[in-house]
Structure 1
Amino acid sequence: MISCVLTDIEGTTSSIEFVHKVLFPYSRANFFRFLSENNQSDVLKIVDQIWTEDLGQPKGSKPDAAQVTQLLQKWIDEDLKKASLKELQGMIWKEGFEAKAYLGHVYPEVKEELEKWKKSGLVLAVYSSGSVQAQKLLFKHSEAGDLTPLFAANFDTAVGHKREAESYTNIAVKLGLDAANILFLSDIKEELDAAENAGMKTCQLMRDPKPAQGHHPLALDFKEVTNLFLGE
């Protein structure tokens, strides 16, 4: 029996285009300003780590914001899931959300279905490659209002990479639930394969027209997820 729905974000609750055409360009355009103006200890620690470990500069030397910015932009272009990149992006996106430069995109039926699932007693959780901070910002400042109260937990790659079964086992342990009672929603076959290998039930979201991959049950939206797995 399903007692928890674990959902991805990009291509599942929210448009991939919002992340790649709104959030990524915003962070890209603001990296240099943010790094040049910010003296907070957590920011300086991340920048120093990039400067010495990724750029190979001497420890104790002053990081050059332009060089660090170039590397961060390169990582975005290569779609690398670097923890330091994700943390800095989350900080910059926070500025944008709070300044109302944009609102987090969610598909039209998402709020209603999430509310329905929570009301029925299901535990709702998020697992995304974006940082937990970025996840909460998107749902707090979403087009549908503040959705954060609907979720009991958020997970990012601190629990492991999304294409590794161990990550989903770790999530089940942290939630205190049997993996067999968790339904994982994603648009990515390899993530669904990993969740299935950990014992979870799976459903592939087909938000955008594309060929189906693998053997996972398919749903066009969350209403179909409800019909397939969670009853009327």
Structure 2
Amino acid sequence: MSKWVVLDIEGTLSATDQVLVVLYDYARPRLGPWIEQHGDDPVVADAVKQIKELSGHDDVVKALHDWMDADQKVTPLKTLQGLIWQQGYAQGDLVAEFFPDVVPAIRKWHDDGVKLAIFSSGSVAGQIAFFQHTTDGDLTPLLEHHFDTVNAGPKREAASYHKIAETLQSDDITFYSDVPAELHAAQEAGWKTVGVARAGEPYGNADFTPHPTVWELS
């Protein structure tokens, strides 16, 4: 086992439907009101500015909904979703669920001295809220770092994995993901890689060659 294990979330640790259905449905009607109520927040104001620049028009909510419909990993969308989800978890509206093998595996890795980090397209704020409020309790003490497209970069580019390795100060890293293109990028950066083929998930029947493939974490 490597010194570090870096884990994807959607489709790897948790069902895709939890994000695309449960979390998206929670965020969608709250995006407009959140922007109105928190317009003076510099993070929200910067996200709105980015949305207008990226979409080319001023209808911010429409742009956000369009990106959600297309499941596009657009950074300002992820920022706003993360803030909304953070509040939803804190209020008890949302509770994170994992595949049955996940929590025993990450607890064992942690107990064995493996350092754990997350790399997800969801914002760091959203990730932390996700792991704080789970059906297995607060799991954040098991995790050393969180990375997203803001502090690391796109998940399908090798440069992002080089940047994470610099932060972790290690080249002994294994990345687990259900998306072959992400695994290719991590491998290009010199990481060990493991494909996670979950039955019923969008990439469950993908070709993970040349990456070793597992069907559950252990």
Whether these two folds match at TM > 0.5 is: yes
2:197 is matched with: 206
Inter-CA distance 119–31: structure 2 relative to 1 (3 Å threshold)? same
Q: TM-score, normalised by structure 2?
A: 0.90
Aligned to 1:230: none
Question: In the aligned structure 1, how far is the partner of 2:185 from the partner of 2:117?
Answer: 17
Structure with greater proportional helix content:
1
Report whether the alignment pairs 1:184 with 2:140: no
Deviation at 1:36, TM superposition (A): 2.6
How far does residue 167 in structure 1 lie from its aligned partner after superposition? 1.1
- Runs of at least 4 residues off by over 4 Å: none
Q: Give, in whole Å, the separation in 1 of the partners of 2:98 and 2:117.
A: 16
1: CA distance, partners of 2:147 / 2:176: 14
- Establish whether residue 153 from structure 1 lines up as the match of residue 151 from structure 2: no
In the alignment of these two chains, the number of paired residues is 212
- 2:207 matched to 1:216? no
1:124-162, Cα deviation, whole Å (9 max, x unpaired): 011011111111111111111111111111111121211
Q: How far apart, CA to CA, are the structure 2 residues paired with 1:211 and 1:53?
A: 33
**Structure 2 residue 117 is matched with structure 1 residue 125:** yes
Q: Cα distance, 1:99 vs. partner? A: 1.5
Q: Which has the larger radius of gyration?
A: 1
Report the aligned-residue RMSD. Answer: 1.7
Tell me whether 193-202 or 78-87 shows the greater mean CA deviation. 78-87
Q: Where do residues 92-103 of structure 1 align in structure 2 (5 Å cutoff)?
A: 92-103=84-95
* Identity rate, percent: 39
Cα distance in 2 for partners of 1:153, 1:23 equals 22
1:50 partner letter: I
In structure 2, the partner of 1:136 is: 128
Distance 2:90 2:7 in 1: 25
Cα offset, 1:44, TM superposition: 3.1
| Alignment deviations for residues 175-201 of structure 1 (CA, whole Å, 9 cap, x no partner) | 0001xx211000000111111111111
C-alpha deviation, 1:45, in angstroms: 3.6
User: Quick one: which amino acid aligns to residue 186 of structure 2?
Assistant: A
Structure 2, gaps ≥5 residues long? none
Which residue is equivalent to 1:47?
48
**Match among 140, 157, 160 for residue 164 of structure 1:** 157
The alpha carbon displacement at 1:109 in A equals 2.2
- Return the alpha-carbon distance in structure 1 between the equivalents of residues 123 and 15 of structure 2: 17
**Which of 50, 63, 76 matches 1:71?**
63
TM-score (norm 1): 0.85
Which letter maps to 1:47?
Answer: V
